[in-house]
Amino acid sequence: MEQVNRQVWLKSRPNGIPQADDFAIRVAPLPTAAEGEFVVRNSYLSVDPAMRGWIADTSTYWPRIEVGDTMRAFSVGEVISSRHPDYAVGDQVMGIFGWQDYAAVRPEQVMRKVLERDLSLSLSLGVLGLNGLTAYFGLLDVCQPKPGETVVVSTAAGAVGSAVGQIARIKGCRVVGIAGGEDKVRQCVEEFGYDVAIDYKREADIDAALRKACPDGIDVYYDNTSGAALDAVLRQINVHARIAICGTASFASWEPWNQGPRPERHLLVKRATMRGFLTTDFAARYEEAIADLAGWIRDGKLKYREDMREGIESAPGLIQTLYEGGNAGKLLIRLREDSELAERSTS
Amino acid sequence: MEQVNRQVWLKSRPNGIPQADDFAIRVAPLPTAAEGEFVVRNSYLSVDPAMRGWIADTSTYWPRIEVGDTMRAFSVGEVISSRHPDYAVGDQVMGIFGWQDYAAVRPEQVMRKVLERDLSLSLSLGVLGLNGLTAYFGLLDVCQPKPGETVVVSTAAGAVGSAVGQIARIKGCRVVGIAGGEDKVRQCVEEFGYDVAIDYKREADIDAALRKACPDGIDVYYDNTSGAALDAVLRQINVHARIAICGTASFASWEPWNQGPRPERHLLVKRATMRGFLTTDFAARYEEAIADLAGWIRDGKLKYREDMREGIESAPGLIQTLYEGGNAGKLLIRLREDSELAERSTS
């Protein structure tokens, strides 16, 4: 066990995608739990597209990260000491504990206790964590797909997109993915079971590619990107189409604000809905969703990919990696193996 | 009773707002009812913003109106002969019977039978017709306003907008209208009870005007215009805001497609919804809504304005009048007085 706490902190505020140089690593003393807190030792750290917004934007869900702060991040680990009655040593917890080895944590930082001890703890940062929940609620609640409908997903091979596509298939939909590059397109069809996948980097005419892939029009669009894909989808939506706005990854910045063709006329003529959502609005139903997702994983119906990087030293450059599409699956940082966990080694 | 049927027909297809010259009036023989039809004598004809789209667009709810066709229009009148068991002579009906004196009608052209014999038949083309229903369902169903919330409406003094504003007040909301010109703004506040009305023609900075009028942000926006008003509202929406897209009147044409600031980032960050709707999707609930609307009219809580033009000869220029804002209230054409109706004169 390290006797120090390594922390990745924000050294300078980037304009656009955060680069490795915008961060540095410092060594801090091990944190201790105040009354009502407990200390988590992180096993895996997450790298998420939302991090760009946490750093850059003032208009976001959480307070902006300031220069000097330890980088906010989802992570998963084990309680090693506790001064809170609901959290015992050995509990596995997932939440916002930061890009660091150890964190003194208050209950409101915890997203959930991890109960699926037959599955790797790392899944709680991906398909059994915010990615899977985001796919689940954004598709099933916001879009309400019906069997036989056509569902289109952007960043279709990504951590959220691949789960959206597979859940839509489980629900009996025709599923069309939009992804960038030959490898991802192949992965969509061969690994995640999409009916068709469109390579937006290769297709000169995304409208024509969508028309061919969606001969009956588009009923549901799960949008992770905004931009040209959204614009093209809107031109081909069916009456009563539903569009979930999950992310705007195709734009590195919103200063100045991005312009585009106006969607409201499409929404009007097709009596369609475009809705932004935040997974945490569904917090009361996480366990219901995790039970479904874990069941589909155990049944082999829901596949996932992890792109596991080793050691906290790898963290600073990984937001850039994510935005460049340089990852193959959910991008994670491993601080130690599942097998090192006290609880697993004794069970 | 005229012995001929005067019809306003489309003489040439306009690019943009239809002008008087795009129409002509012809004289046709009185129609007769085939089996399953009945003949309606129109009392009032409607002039609606949607007419522009019916003529210009291929991507609309109904087939495009072709050159040579009698202009499609909502109207209200009385059954004068019938070969359909559900429609008797003397029944008052509202529906799509065209800009003409008489129409041979099939039941699917009827929107509803008019049952409120204590109120003028003309109301069935406005506040007790599609305008009132559009306000009712667009506000109450699409936007679901809660007491104390801030509701913004564009074309706030118009036939739809004025009903939206008043219904929002009835439901306990703070209501802010956006309208063009001093007269309309005064009307909004003095006649329709808006808390504040903004004159978009006078305000150089619509964002600042909205900020001042909506100190607690915007929870609901009922959009009849698209354009700059929508863009400004999006910059000030609250979390879980709801935007109903009812019309795009600020744009005369969508060829080429109109551009603007992208809304999806606002929808995402504020977990907000933007939804287009068509009143006819709520057809199963018309009578429920009409009962509410008629009740509010009788109680003096729901006011309306009619801008009544006389005679079918006035019809050709009135779409232009509507788009220029040259009307003061619901724009209607009177072919004969309510008092001429057989049913009323004998009751």
CA distance B271 to A245: 9
Q: What is the mean pLDDT of chain A?
A: 94
Task: Answer whether B268 sits within 8 Å of A254, measured CB to CB.
Answer: no
Q: Does A258 reach chain B within 8 Å, measured CB to CB?
A: yes
| Test mutation, A143, A237, A264, A275, chain B, max B CBs within 10 A | A264
CA distance B63 to B141: 27
| Span of A45-59, A128-142, A263-277, B254-268 with lowest mean pLDDT | A45-59
Domain ranges of chain B: 4-126+305-346, 130-280
Q: In this predicted structure, what is the pLDDT of residue A288?
A: 97
- Contact list in B for residue A261 (CB cut-off 8 A) is 257-259
Architecture of domain A130-280: 3-Layer(aba) Sandwich (3.40)
Sheet strands (E) in A56-137: 74-82, 92-96, 102-105, 110-113
Which residue among B57, B247, B259 places its CB closest to the CB of A260? B259
Place of tokens 């001429």: B340
- Contact list in B for residue A255 (CB cut-off 8 A) is none
Of A177 and A249, more confident: A177
Using CA atoms, how far residue A68 sits from A8, A12, A18, A162, A233, in Å, is: 10, 8, 15, 35, 41
Phi-psi region of B172 (alpha: psi -120 to 50; beta: other; left: phi over 0): left
CA distance B263 to A223: 13
- Single-letter residue type at A280: T
Task: Answer whether B245 sits within 8 Å of A254, measured CB to CB.
Answer: no
Q: Does B254 reach chain A within 8 Å, measured CB to CB?
A: yes
Which residue among B223, B260, B271 places its CB closest to the CB of A281? B271
> For residue A62, what is the nearest residue in chain B, using CA coordinates?
B269
Q: Which two tokens stand for residue B294?
A: 């008629």
Residue A114 has pLDDT above 90, yes or no: yes
CA distance B268 to A226: 11
pLDDT band at B239 (very low <50, low <70, confident <90, very high): very high
Which residue among B57, B247, B267 places its CB closest to the CB of A274? B267
Q: What is the mean pLDDT of chain B?
A: 94
Q: Which residues contact B105 (CB under 8 A, 6 or more apart)?
A: B37, B38, B39, B40, B93, B95, B97
Residue B125 has pLDDT above 90, yes or no: yes
pLDDT band at A16 (very low <50, low <70, confident <90, very high): confident
Q: What is the residue-wise DSSP string for B116-159? A: -TTS-GGGGGTTTSHHHHHHHIIIIIII---TT-EEEEESTTSH
Percentage of residues of chain A with pLDDT beyond 70: 95
Q: In this predicted structure, what is the pLDDT of residue A326?
A: 86
Query: Nearest CA to A137 among A158, A117, A160?
Result: A160
CA distance B290 to B127: 9
CA distance B85 to B217: 54
> For residue B269, what is the nearest residue in chain A, using CA coordinates?
A60
Q: Which two tokens stand for residue B298?
A: 């009788």
- Contact list in A for residue B241 (CB cut-off 8 A) is none
> For residue B57, what is the nearest residue in chain A, using CA coordinates?
A269
- Contact list in A for residue B260 (CB cut-off 8 A) is 259-260, 262
| B1-31: pLDDT as tens digits | 547 999 999 999 998 899 999 999 999 999 9
| Test mutation, A248, A266, A269, chain B, max B CBs within 10 A | A269
Residue B343 has pLDDT above 60, yes or no: no
pLDDT band at B345 (very low <50, low <70, confident <90, very high): very low
CA distance A98 to A71: 6
Residue B245 has pLDDT above 90, yes or no: yes
Q: Does A150 reach chain B within 8 Å, measured CB to CB?
A: no
Q: In this predicted structure, what is the pLDDT of residue A341?
A: 62
CA distance B267 to B281: 24
For residue B220, give the 3-state DSSP assignment. strand
Q: Which two tokens stand for residue B151?
A: 């509701």
| B298-317: pLDDT as tens digits | 999 999 999 999 999 999 99
Task: Answer whether B267 sits within 8 Å of A245, measured CB to CB.
Answer: yes
Task: Answer whether A264 sits within 8 Å of B271, measured CB to CB.
Answer: no
Q: Does A275 reach chain B within 8 Å, measured CB to CB?
A: yes
> For residue B280, what is the nearest residue in chain A, using CA coordinates?
A271
| B179-209: pLDDT as tens digits | 999 999 999 999 999 999 999 999 999 999 9
CA distance A31 to B30: 91
pLDDT band at B249 (very low <50, low <70, confident <90, very high): confident
- Contact list in A for residue B242 (CB cut-off 8 A) is none
Q: Please calculate the CA angle A163-A167-A170 and round it to the nearest 5 degrees.
A: 145
Q: Which residues contact B103 (CB under 8 A, 6 or more apart)?
A: B31, B39, B40, B42, B75, B97, B109
Burial of residue B210 (number of CB atoms within 10 Å: 0-12, 13-18, 19+): buried
Q: In this predicted structure, what is the pLDDT of residue A120?
A: 94
| Class of the CATH domain delimited by B4-126+305-346 | alpha beta
Q: Does A264 reach chain B within 8 Å, measured CB to CB?
A: yes
Which residue among A61, A267, A281 places its CB closest to the CB of B274? A267
pLDDT band at B346 (very low <50, low <70, confident <90, very high): very low
Residue A164 has pLDDT above 90, yes or no: yes
From B43's Cα to the closest Cα of chain A, the distance in A is: 30
Is the bond preceding B256 in cis, omega lying within 30 degrees of 0? yes
Q: Does A261 reach chain B within 8 Å, measured CB to CB?
A: yes
| Test mutation, B141, B144, B239, B265, chain A, max A CBs within 10 A | B265
Indicate if the alpha-carbon torsion angle B69, B75, B81, B83 is positive or negative.
Answer: positive
